[in-house]
Structure 1
Amino acid sequence: MMDFDAFKELVEKTKNDHPIWFGMESDESPDNEALAEAEDKLGAKLPVDYKNFILEYGGGYFAFSNVFSLERRSDWNLVDLNEKYKAIRNGHLLISENSSGDFYGFRLVDGVFEPRIYFYDHEVETWEESPYSNLFDYLEKFALSN
């Protein structure tokens, strides 16, 4: 499982090697008040890995992927998208999508979203565990690899 420091090093190396991958404008980083407000609206605590990512990188477009953000007017707003797709959430929090109707997210357990990434397959309308133990492992595969 990749930790935040290793992830930041990987991002810096990838930005140096492939700056064009980061050409899309990302959403602004939230403050701690916005994080607390999102957790309140969602009714659960967000994983530390997600909080670290969103505070550092803001969310939205991120290399070859996207991460739902807390920017209020963003098309990638975490709270808004989870409200929009509440019918498929089924105990999960949508945090990214693959542009094909499928989502990636965290599972809710005892009022806390777990860091492990789950996959929602829209064709069979089910959630399944992915091989990614946290957001950084997921982004290493989908955002930072070509």
Structure 2
Amino acid sequence: MELAEFEALAKPLLRRSVTEQAAYGFALVDGHSVTAQEIMSVEREMAVSLPDKYKAFMIRFGGGAFGFVELFPLAPVASGSDDLRTLNDRDFADRNFVAIAPVGTGDHWGFPVTNGRCDDSVWFRFHDAGDDEPAAADFLEFVAEHGLKSSADRALERRD
């Protein structure tokens, strides 16, 4: 998936986020965007090369809430909250995996890393098992699937 296609899919969520912010004081998209220079700094500090689609998303939308997924921001946002580098320095210091989002169960979604380069695909990493599972072919597909869930999708999940 390309960024323009993703942006078209995200338009309803972005509009709804503005409405929810005005009506209730909270946003469905609470992104903390970064610059290309900030991304390069994080990559240098972590000694990894992040996927291009991930970087484009972080510049355009940023980390934080994006619909139904919470993405680790690249830059620290608040004292005591995890940003990408801090979380990965603490939990994945060997750099064979870069966690980008919590699942909520102690597990994470993220990128496998080979020779300092993150794979384009997003994987599910279990906190207590060694078998990672592929989650999406690329980052934008991952956010589209997990962040842009429709009301119909949520209704089906509740019935299951």
Q: CA RMSD in A?
A: 2.3
Residues 33-73 of structure 1: CA deviation (Å, up to 9, x unaligned): 21111000110111001101100111111111111111223
Distance 1:76 1:56, change over 3 A: farther
> TM-score, structure 1 length as denominator?
0.85
Structure 1 gaps of 5+ residues are none
Task: State the match for 1:57 in structure 2.
Answer: 61
Structure 2 gaps of 5+ residues are 155-160
Shift of 1:31: 1.3
Q: Are 1:144 and 2:148 an aligned pair? A: yes
> TM-score, structure 2 length as denominator?
0.79
Higher relative contact order (CA 8 A, sep 6+): 1
Q: Are 1:114 and 2:113 an aligned pair? A: no
- Please give the alpha-carbon distance, in whole angstroms, between the structure 1 residues aligned to 2:88 and 2:4: 28
Q: What is the percentage of aligned positions where both structures have the same residue?
A: 22
- Please give the alpha-carbon distance, in whole angstroms, between the structure 2 residues aligned to 1:33 and 1:42: 14
Is contact 2:72-2:83 (8 Å) kept?
A: yes
Task: State the match for 1:132 in structure 2.
Answer: 136
What one-letter code is carried by the residue in structure 2 that aligns with 1:43?
A: A
Task: State the match for 2:50 in structure 1.
Answer: 46
- Please give the alpha-carbon distance, in whole angstroms, between the structure 1 residues aligned to 2:61 and 2:131: 27
Find the residue that maps to 1:66 and give its secondary structure.
Answer: strand
Distance 1:55 1:99, change over 3 A: same
Residues 67-93 of structure 1: CA deviation (Å, up to 9, x unaligned): 111122342410011012126x66110
Task: State the match for 2:85 in structure 1.
Answer: 79
Is contact 2:31-2:66 (8 Å) kept?
A: no
- Please give the alpha-carbon distance, in whole angstroms, between the structure 2 residues aligned to 1:37 and 1:135: 20
Shift of 1:116: 0.4
Matched residue count: 143
Is contact 1:60-1:76 (8 Å) kept?
A: no
Find the residue that maps to 2:70 and give its secondary structure.
Answer: strand
- Please give the alpha-carbon distance, in whole angstroms, between the structure 1 residues aligned to 2:97 and 2:138: 14
Is contact 1:67-1:76 (8 Å) kept?
A: no
Is contact 1:103-1:120 (8 Å) kept?
A: yes
Q: Are 1:98 and 2:97 an aligned pair? A: no
